[in-house]
Structure 1
């Protein structure tokens, strides 16, 4: 009797597992469908897109839409493709990610292990920066960039993204560092280690999971940003998100949907690659930071 009950229980467990995976698979397919549509149609010629099913793979795959999107497509009056804007996004994103992550790490270290009078209030005010809408700072930031002589420039966009990213990176690092034993810091102080010696030789080597989380978070947010890019950039400093918007809204006679989709794929490739390469480390670091503090 117990053996029969065990078989029934295992069968139900197996059915439940199959059902759960089937539902998850359907949701994943639904979520990935737009990406699939863009990918397959970016390798079709325009006549095939107009005369066929968007969900069907290309009959005669061609890389011409990608070539045109990269170096020939018109974004407004400029017909040099998206390559220059892609480079702009890289030049903006990489320094901003580094600066925001580095400053956030120092802030988190101070607020968790070198607390001072009023540090909790300071941390609360900094967290407020995470919830301030972008629109609330547009005018003050524009005035600041104008005062510094950084308006409509790549360095100006780097500054904007760095400043706006610091509250988030500080939150991530502070919550992670709270879980590191304070005895390590005390022992380092007894050995005569300075503030930065303790940070670089003890804290930083233990920070790999949260560094990965922070870098992925910042890279994705900065690379995908449109609002700051369209407001604070000039004709030569626009990021690829602005160029993509201009490309889609530029009409030169025939609407080339395959080129638009190829450009969208080019714009999305860096973030896709970051998640493919570092996705599992992102989840590990996110969980590690979430259960500390």
Structure 2
């Protein structure tokens, strides 16, 4: 084991101090083949995680997160518990470390052995310690994926948060502009209203944070590699706005206002949204 530890320490040193990104793949292979464990990796990262330099601490967390993205499915519940506590603590660290922390948490939220209570713990840490809209596009996407992962696997835990979850969600997606992230935000909002989450006193806030995009006005840039269409965004938002009768008192005035628009597509979108809303209410 001493030989393995020396190998691991060498990989960590080269990645963190030598800025050799390829060592992440080698470290991942070592974990996958059983040469060393994820918790041994955390131990080997000790020198970087206690560094006075935020960039050095960030490189250490980055290495761990990159390994977890490939190895999360083999973790035990105890390992997941330790890693979640580690990452939640790191969310309080320097802002340059936050993106790497979020990547690690995203990997952990995919674990089938996520310990009871950890979903709530993760979300409370993010809502408290991360200002989502000050993050870069990819990091905001990471937060939305964490939310969606936990909604898929730990729904009852999240519902136990009550209106606090709705408030945190609203704060997280407020002001989003990237179309890729908007699809994720709309997906999260659909989950909330279609799966019976208690909106509490935040019904209007959830409506406002999504309806501000209505009607969708989006033209994908030429040669868009993401392939997101205006129709995709329209249908996704429509499913949110017309998805619950709790939105009716806010949706009807909005549609009436948009029907006065000189833009034909805006009128059509308004009528189709109203039509879907009536269908869902009748059902």
TM > 0.5 fold call: no
Identify which of structures 1 and 2 has the higher relative contact order when contacts are C-alpha pairs closer than 8 Å and 6+ apart. 1
Larger Rg: 1
The structure with more helix, counted as a fraction of residues: 1
Instruction: Tell me the TM-score normalised to structure 2 length.
Output: 0.23
